[in-house]
Amino acid sequence: MAAMASISASSWLDGTPEWAWPGRRPAVELAPAAWVPALPTLSALPALSTLPALPELPALPRAAARPRTRTLPRPLRLARLALLIAVAVATFVITTRLAHSRPAAAEGFASIRFDDVLTNPFAGAATVDADATAHAAPAIGELAPPLPEPVPIVTEPAGSTIASITYPSAALGWRDRFLVYLPPGYYASATRRYPVIYLLHGDDQPASSFLRLGVAGTLDRLTQTHRIQPMIAVMLQGASAPQNWENTSGPRLYSYVAEVQRLTDRVLRTIPSRSARAIAGYSMGGFGAMNVALTQLGAYSVVESWEGQFANLSHELAADRTLLRRLPLHAFVWGGAQDTVVDTAADAPWAAAMRAAGAQAASAVYPGAHAFAPIEAHLAQMLSFAARALRS
């Protein structure tokens, strides 16, 4: 047997070809094994000069270099390269947006998924310019369950209910709480649906100002006397200074109106169609209602302005001329004869301009100043006008 020599047990860790369990002494053969045939030494081999010369092989013909073939012509190759670059850029953008964290919902509320128009509530108003062009409500995506539920506050003697809905608003950047009027019999039926009027308050006023004006009692009386069909009223809160209900560098009030409208259709038994939606407001809310109705024409079929004004809305009205032929709009505007805040003399010309554009518009001037008293006095007439123009 071939002679043996010993190596350290750790040599298997040092990259040697030999292998052994740690702690054992592997054997290494110093000579060839017995089964390996013996080879002659170099001295025993014949000298190279004595070997016969090998015959010279003929030279092989050198192949001519062939031009590299192209499978596509140059314009198509450039187009393919541009497409690959576009796909790479799109993949990067999508991945980046998916990785971007969305604002956390308020404590105690499930998160709500919104699209990029409302993802950043303080991004400025430029992102909704396309909405004014398209005359559609800003897209905000789907609301993730669980959705908020109306919390009853008080039940009126006639059977109607005042409730509140609280949710984390992406448009405002805080947790919003708005009020709703639910007509008598709302909770008695699980299937009946109702038209809706959305109400926008004025400067330095809360949503509850509509309750002080008597919206709940007036709707109860009009319903009980069968002057109107039952309807839901949504009193938006927004902010104490609503800035004409336009988007600002802070709260995005224009987008908030669309947000509440979408949410209301999800959590209340509304008739979710344009023909069953009205929007109205007083003072700053009057401008906001007119602006929203004209720039979100696909969402509302009735608009009212109480002691409001319409400055800078002529462009929106002109853009609606072709749409108003297939999307009829009913409008009523009025102001007080002694109003020193808003120019009531502009109401009749504005209504005439709306009629010229294709809307069905009326106007009026009532006695009174820029105050709550004229609104209370004519509230029944305004709510009746809206309810009768809506589809029940």
pLDDT in tens, 74-109: 777 777 777 777 766 665 544 444 333 333 333 332
273: which residues sit within 8 A by CB, 6+ positions away?
A: 391
pLDDT mean over 329-340: 96
pLDDT at 78: 78
pLDDT in tens, 149-163: 999 999 989 999 999
Among 27-31, 58-62, 129-133, the range scoring the smallest mean pLDDT is 129-133
Residue 235 near residue 178, CB atoms below 8 Å: yes
Residue 208 near residue 240, CB atoms below 8 Å: no
Q: Is the pLDDT of residue 275 over 90?
A: yes
Q: Is the pLDDT of residue 304 over 60?
A: yes
> CA 326 from chain center: how many Å?
27
pLDDT mean over 213-226: 96
> CA 232 from chain center: how many Å?
25
- HEC string of the chain equals CCCEEECCHHHHHCCCCCCCCCCCCCEEECCCCCCCCCCCCHHHCCCHHHCCCCCCCCCCCCCCCCCCCCCCCHHHHHHHHHHHHHHHHHHHHHHHHHHCCCCCCCCCCCCCCCCHHHHCCCCCCHHHHHHHHHCCCCCCCCCCCCCCCCEEEEECCCCCEEEEEEEEECCCCEEEEEEEEECCCCCCCCCCCECEEEEECCCCCCCCHHHHHCHHHHHHHHHHCCCCCCCEEEECCCCCCCHHHCECCCCEHHHHHHHHHHHHHHHCCECCCHHHEEEEEECHHHHHHHHHHHHCCCCCCEEEEECCCCCCCHHHHHHCCCHHHCCCCEEEEEEECCCCCCCHHHHHHHHHHHHHHCCEEEEEEECCCCCHHHHHHHHHHHHHHHHHHCCC
Residue 117 near residue 181, CB atoms below 8 Å: no
pLDDT at 36: 43
pLDDT in tens, 44-68: 445 545 545 555 545 545 555 555 5
Q: Does any domain span residue 151? A: yes
Q: Does any domain span residue 105? A: no
Q: Does any domain span residue 340? A: yes
Sign of CA dihedral 33, 35, 36, 39: positive
pLDDT above 90 covers what percent of the chain? Answer: 57
Please give the Cα distance from 82 to 71 (Å, whole number): 17
Q: Is the pLDDT of residue 307 over 90?
A: yes
Q: Does any domain span residue 99? A: no
pLDDT mean over 203-223: 95
Q: Is the pLDDT of residue 40 over 60?
A: no
Q: Which two tokens stand for residue 144?
A: 């993730």
pLDDT mean over 278-288: 96
pLDDT at 240: 80
pLDDT at 73: 76
Q: Which two tokens stand for residue 271?
A: 């008739």
pLDDT at 81: 79
Q: Is the pLDDT of residue 282 over 60?
A: yes
Q: Does any domain span residue 39? A: no
pLDDT at 277: 98
Q: Does any domain span residue 75? A: no
pLDDT at 62: 54
pLDDT at 102: 31
Number of C-beta neighbours around residue 388 at 10 A: 13
pLDDT mean over 231-248: 91
Give the structural domain span for 148. Answer: 126-389
Higher pLDDT, 337 or 101: 337
Residue 298 maps to which CATH number? 3.40.50.1820
pLDDT in tens, 315-327: 999 999 999 999 9
Highest-confidence range of 8-17, 52-61, 203-212, by mean pLDDT?
203-212
Q: Is the pLDDT of residue 278 over 70?
A: yes
Instruction: Label residue 249 by pLDDT band (50, 70, 90).
Output: confident
Q: Is the pLDDT of residue 210 over 90?
A: yes
**What amino acid occupies position 302?**
V
Strand-strand pairing, 174-182 and 161-169: antiparallel
Q: Does any domain span residue 238? A: yes
Q: Total structural domains in the chain? A: 1
pLDDT at 11: 34
Mean pLDDT of all residues belonging to the chain: 77
Q: Is the pLDDT of residue 134 over 50?
A: no
- Residue 380's Cβ-count burial label (10 Å; 0-12, 13-18, 19+) is middle
pLDDT at 250: 86
pLDDT at 121: 26
